[in-house]
Amino acid sequence: MRITNRHLIGWLGASPLMLILLAFLVAPIVMIVIVSFWGATEFSIYPDFQFDNYAFLFGSPVTYKVFFATFKYAVITWALTLAIGFTVAYFLAFHVRSQSVQIALFLLCTIPFWTSNIIRMISWIPFLGRNGIANQTLISWGVIDQPLEWLLYSDFSVILAFVHLYTLFMVVPIFNTMMRIDKSLIEAAYDNGATGLQTLWHVIIPLTKPGIMIGTIFVVTLVMGDFITVRFMSGSQKANVGRLISNDIALLQYPSAAATAVVLLCTVLLVIAILLRFVNIRKEL
Amino acid sequence: MEKRPRSFYVLAAFFGLFLLFLYGPTLTIAILSFQGPQGGLTFPMNGVSLHWFYDLFEEQAVGDIWGAFRRSFALGLIVMVVTVVVSVMAGLAFRKRFAGSGVLFYLAITSLVIPSILISLGVGLIFNQLGFRVHWSTSGLGSQLTWTLPFGLLIMFAVFNRFDKSYEEAARDQGATAWQTIRHVILPIIAPSLIGVALFGFTLSYDEFARTLLTSGSYNTLPLEIFGMTTNVTTPVIYALGTLTTLFSFGIIAVFILTVWVLGKRRARFGSDAGKGV
């Protein structure tokens, strides 16, 4: 009797979350899977059960190129955000001594997360453009004679924007795990004669792994699922899977968009499943 | 005080550069939004004026940004309230294992990591096939909740992992009902974290783009309106808008942080009022 009671109270509390996720997460995924087997004419879609969308997707060399580009963005962005995020979190956690300064600096790092991504992308334009600050500065220093063309609307600007937008997702979980490291472990390492680097490598990094994993999950999924950063920062000249989907949507080719979306979702979930083997998220919060 | 190692100064410099990297571009467009009427999208400044801010107030110049702002603001408030209420209920429920809690947790994680465009596409397709009209307050609201609720839930997990259960047990030992315990003991203790959840709910909704793209219908939210402008507006008016909405976000964030701070101060002075209710 008590057991049913416990389950009932759990369900009551969780039911609003459950209902919202069923309606706006599970149902849309199911719908996308269904529509991925539908057919399309130029201006409408019709129910069907055919594999044409998948056949076309896997038969096109563009697909493989675009998936490769998506992985490339994810890996490069991951490496950069990890290096920067770890360093920033390390500084905050181990070198800032006053707790109020620590909180203030941490907030400074997180505030941009609560502002508009679109605006943050737009704000790179005066910096990177042909006559932008970067080019003007480099020319005035005599480093280059001609403005660099690859600063804006290139892989460079896409990755720069990704790093700008998402480093935060590394800083926060890594900082969180670092703050929970027992400081006596680090003192013990020093007392036993370890150098700073040895302590970092053999004590701090292993203990920070869960935070690194959570940050990795965030950054990798955000980059792999993105379409707007790539579109905006590359001036529509570069493609990733998200853009493939959004282009199909713009052409009202929903079944084809849905098939690509299914493949993207499977890829992302596979990556996450692998990453989750290394970390228990609920324990780390 | 112990002398600082040399690595401190290197890391501090790195941190400074990181902050410059974070805020530099935003400051740049803030400066450029004061361009003179003949000024362009990059430096040099062609005089200094408020021309582009005035431009924002002339409807025909830039489309319906004030309507978009009102919609985004209203939607942000709705998302905020729903996120707080639903996250707290789920957070309380998740403290005990119940049948299906594991599945629900992984659903929430999926909701967080799923590419946003899938939510947009899927919700849009469902509404079309059912013959409903997509609208920011229905399909838009639901789509945004799939983004804000996982954050709310994760924050609640973090809160309850640190929650001292003895307060609750004390209340129960004194004969408080389950509801009284929640209302007079748990909620007052976790109140500052709830403000955090509210901050996430509002700001993530206010700036949401990808999940709202196909689900907001014919009335745009502000981020959609701004994105539309990037394709056809080539004057600093877009910087002026960017500066204003960023300032607005900063204002909102400041209000939330100040509230948490004041709550903390009051608590330090008077002690928690948890358990003082009847």
Please state the domain extents for chain B. 65-270
Size of interface A-B (CB pairs under 8 A): 261
CB within 8 A of A151, min separation 6: which ones?
A128, A129, A132, A134, A135, A157
| Strand pairing category for A45-46 and A39-40 | antiparallel
Q: For chain A, give every domain's residue range.
A: 66-284
Res. A260: pLDDT tops 50: yes
Looking at CA atoms only, how far is residue B208 from chain A in angstroms? 8
Closest CA to B159 of B195, B113, B183, B204: B195
Number of H helices, E strands in chain A: 17, 2
Q: Look at residue A1 in the predicted model and tell me its pLDDT.
A: 42
Looking at CA atoms only, how far is residue A28 from chain B in angstroms? 4
Res. A140: pLDDT tops 70: yes
> Which pTM was predicted?
0.90
Res. A236: pLDDT tops 70: yes
Q: Look at residue A158 in the predicted model and tell me its pLDDT.
A: 94
Q: Residue-wise over A46-62: b if at least 16 C-beta within 10 A, else e? A: eeeeeebbbeebeeeee
Put simply, the answer to whether A217 touches B113 (Cβ < 8 Å) is yes
Three-class DSSP category at B277: coil
Q: Look at residue B275 in the predicted model and tell me its pLDDT.
A: 54
Contacts of B149 in chain A (CB under 8 A): 17, 20-21
Q: How far apart are the C-alpha atoms of A187 and A184, rounded to whole Å? A: 5
First to last CA, chain A: 33
Closest CA to B146 of B193, B81, B211: B211
Q: Percentage of residues in chain A with pLDDT exceeding 70?
A: 97
Three-class DSSP category at B35: strand
Higher pLDDT, B64 or A230: A230
Q: Name the token pair of A98.
A: 């006053």
Contacts of A105 in chain B (CB under 8 A): 15
Task: Tell me which CATH code domain A66-284 carries.
Answer: 1.10.3720.10
Q: How far apart are the C-alpha atoms of B54 and B236, rounded to whole Å? A: 12
Res. A43: pLDDT tops 90: no
Task: Tell me which CATH code domain B65-270 carries.
Answer: 1.10.3720.10
Q: Are A217 and A275 in contact (CB under 8 A)?
A: yes
Q: Name the token pair of B231.
A: 């394709």
pLDDT tier at A22 (50, 70, 90 boundaries)?
very high
Q: How far apart are the C-alpha atoms of A185 and A229, rounded to whole Å? A: 42
Q: Are A49 and B147 in contact (CB under 8 A)?
A: no
CB within 8 A of B170, min separation 6: which ones?
B275
Closest CA to B259 of B195, B198, B197: B195
Put simply, the answer to whether A268 touches B18 (Cβ < 8 Å) is no
Q: Which of residues 45-84 of B touch A (CB under 8 A)?
A: none
Mean pLDDT confidence for A256-285: 86
How buried is residue A34: exposed, middle or buried, by Cβ count under 10 Å (0-12/13-18/19+)? middle
Q: Look at residue B2 in the predicted model and tell me its pLDDT.
A: 66
Closest CA to A221 of A275, A175, A154: A275
Interface probe with B: pick from A115, A198, A226, most Cβ of B within 10 Å: A115
Question: Is the peptide bond prior to B44 cis by the omega test (within 30 degrees of 0)?
Answer: yes
Looking at CA atoms only, how far is residue A59 from chain B in angstroms? 22
Contacts of A249 in chain B (CB under 8 A): 117, 121, 214
Q: Look at residue B81 in the predicted model and tell me its pLDDT.
A: 96
Q: Look at residue A78 in the predicted model and tell me its pLDDT.
A: 96
Q: Look at residue A72 in the predicted model and tell me its pLDDT.
A: 95
| Tens-binned pLDDT, residue by residue, of chain B (278 aa) | 567 778 889 999 999 999 999 999 899 888 888 887 777 777 777 778 887 888 777 765 556 788 888 999 999 999 999 999 999 999 999 888 888 888 999 899 999 989 999 999 999 999 988 988 888 888 999 999 999 999 999 999 989 888 888 888 898 888 888 888 888 888 888 888 899 899 999 999 998 988 988 888 888 888 888 888 887 777 788 888 889 889 998 999 999 989 988 888 888 777 655 555 54
Q: Which of residues 146-175 of B touch A (CB under 8 A)?
A: 146, 149, 153-154, 157-158, 161
C-alpha dihedral sign at A269, A275, A280, A284: negative
